[in-house]
Amino acid sequence: MTRYQWTPVTVTCYGKTLQREVLALRCLWYGALGRQPVQVVLSRPVGAPDGYQLALVTTDLAATPSTIIERYADRWSEETTFLDARHLAGVGHARTRTQRSVERLVPFGLCCMSLAIIWYAHHGDPAHDLAAHRARAPWYRTKHTVSVADMLTALRRALLAAQYQHGHPHQHPLDLLPDALLTQLNPAA
């Protein structure tokens, strides 16, 4: 890659301003897009001797390399949300047959995952959950915030505790959710 001219750029990614070197190439990717031209953007830290750290491909030939890198960074939180929804909450794993049920499955699953995150924001204990995680995995010292997996685990534990309370069998697990959340849901959804 030393024969190409890398261009220094400034990009804003994840709330930080970064100095990068980029290389933009136009080519055809026959296997995936046939005769549709694409732009390949390679990115690396300034002063890197060779190679690249990030490779992006786009069909937007008018976009600058900086814009493409920033779009990628902006979309990353959405991609991790969909990954968490599939792998942690099982969104999209149900075996549905009719057109309407297929159209409703993913939005309903994402809504349920959102409700779990809202529940955690109101009732979760991040300090306790992080301390418990560090006690289970003392070698993992870089964890500073709870993940969606931690939130779902806390909700499961709270629902089980509410369901199997000693001396309070009359309390329903939905009592754990805020009343406003339950009364303002659209019944047609």
Q: How far apart (Å, rounded) are the C-alpha atoms in residues 132 and 50? A: 43
pLDDT digits (tens, 9 = 90+) for 14-41: 889 999 999 999 999 888 888 999 999 9
Residue 161's H or E segment, with its range, is: helix 148-163
pLDDT tier for residue 189 given thresholds of 50, 70 and 90: very low
* Lowest mean pLDDT, pick from 40-44, 74-78, 90-94: 90-94
pLDDT digits (tens, 9 = 90+) for 43-75: 999 988 888 999 999 999 999 999 999 999 999
DSSP code of 11?
Answer: E
Higher pLDDT, 178 or 157: 157
> pTM here?
0.63
Which neighbouring-strand residues pair with 9? Answer: 20
Q: Which two tokens stand for residue 163?
A: 């369901």
What value does the mean pLDDT take over residues 123-129? Answer: 92
Which neighbouring-strand residues pair with 42? Answer: 23, 55
Residue 28's H or E segment, with its range, is: strand 16-28
